[in-house]
Structures are given as structure tokens and as C-alpha cells.
């Protein structure tokens, strides 16, 4: 059976890396962007990583420019932005696509394992992101697609995908869910 550990990607500095390096850890995979309304989530993600890295949590950031051209920079520009603005110390990878025919194989796997759900009527009315998507990009709200930047996938220590968190789920909300898994 395929697990997340069967995939590899290039690190943000261009070196090949296999996700098998994280075997036995709880892994949170996040598609990130530097010019997004959700970019301040970097701060919470970094806090989560620092809080739990010694207990077995690793966060993997995958820059993606598929949503509103919100990650236009080069890998070195992304790395500099993350370092200067959010002091990011969790592993970052080269820019990838998460949807469509050129989606990175890891993301095709993650989406297939945890397809996500359509936002509720309440979300569509009251949540700014989902309201925008519903009005401008309704195709982002159906199927297994990654809806926007900062969609998060939680991978168990065995490499199986446990849960998908949509973009508006904050690192603080995720903290409550991962805490029992780190015991």
C-alpha cells in the first residue's frame, strides 16, 4: 500500500529529499504562499513546529503559485521572505503545483486520500475566503481539489493520511487535534 513516505520532492534549495526521512513522525504538509491573506499562518505554523518538534511533529511547507499568483517569487526569495518575516525553521520545499495535470504526485496522493468537503451554506455566506471562491472560482469548492493556499494534510507516523484541514483552519485549531497524537 502506498504511503506518504513513498514520495520525494526537492527542498527549497534544490536538493532531492524523500519523505521517508520523516518516517515515524507526525507530519503536517501545507501548501504555502507569501502574498496571501492567510500568510500570517506561517507564524502559527512555526510556533506549532517549535512546540512539538521534539515530540515528533514535523511541518513541511510546499510553496505554490496556483492561487491568485500569491507565490510569484523564486525559491531563494521565498526562503528569504520566510526567514525574515516569520523565522521559519521547518523544512521548506521547492515550488510545486497542487492541482491539475502538473500536480506534484504527493499532492495527487494527498487529495485522493482526503478529498475534502464542500463548505457549508453558513461558510459560503459568512467565511470571506469561501464566499470569494463561491463567487469567483466555484470549481475550487468541489471534488478533491486543494481549495486555496494553506490547506493542510496531517500524516500519521505510519505514513497514512489522517486528516485534511481546509485553508481557514488555524494552527491553533490544529494544535488541539494533534496534541493527543503526540503522546
Catalytic amino acids?
36
Q: How far is CA 147 from the centre of its chain?
A: 11
82: which residues sit within 8 A by CB, 6+ positions away? 34, 42, 61, 88, 92
Which is nearest to 26 in space by CA: 172, 120, 153?
Answer: 153
- Grid cell for residue 105: 504526485
Q: Which residue has the cell 515530540?
A: 55
Q: How many CA atoms lie within 13 A of 8 on its CB side?
A: 6
Residue 176: enclosing H or E segment and its boundaries?
helix 171-178
Amino acid at each position: 500500500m502506498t504511503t506518504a513516505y513513498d514520495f520525494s520532492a526537492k527542498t527549497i534549495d534544490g536538493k532531492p529529499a524523500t519523505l521517508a526521512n520523516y518516517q515515524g513522525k507526525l507530519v503536517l504538509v501545507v501548501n504555502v504562499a507569501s502574498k496571501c491573506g492567510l500568510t500570517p499562518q506561517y507564524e502559527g505554523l512555526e510556533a506549532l513546529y517549535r512546540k512539538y518538534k521534539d515530540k515528533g511533529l514535523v511541518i513541511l511547507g510546499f510553496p505554490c503559485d496556483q492561487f491568485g499568483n500569491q507565490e510569484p517569487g523564486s525559491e531563494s526569495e521565498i526562503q528569504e521572505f520566510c526567514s525574515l518575516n516569520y523565522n521559519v525553521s521547518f523544512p521548506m520545499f521547492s515550488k510545486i503545483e497542487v492541482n491539475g495535470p502538473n500536480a506534484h504526485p504527493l499532492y495527487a496522493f494527498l487529495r485522493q486520500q482526503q478529498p475534502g468537503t464542500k463548505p457549508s451554506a453558513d461558510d459560503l455566506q459568512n467565511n470571506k475566503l469561501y464566499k470569494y471562491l463561491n463567487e469567483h472560482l466555484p470549481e475550487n469548492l468541489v471534488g478533491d481539489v486543494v481549495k486555496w493556499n494553506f490547506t493542510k494534510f496531517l500524516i500519521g507516523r505510519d505514513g497514512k493520511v489522517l486528516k485534511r484541514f481546509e485553508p481557514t483552519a488555524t494552527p491553533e485549531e490544529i494544535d488541539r487535534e494533534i496534541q493527543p497524537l503526540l503522546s
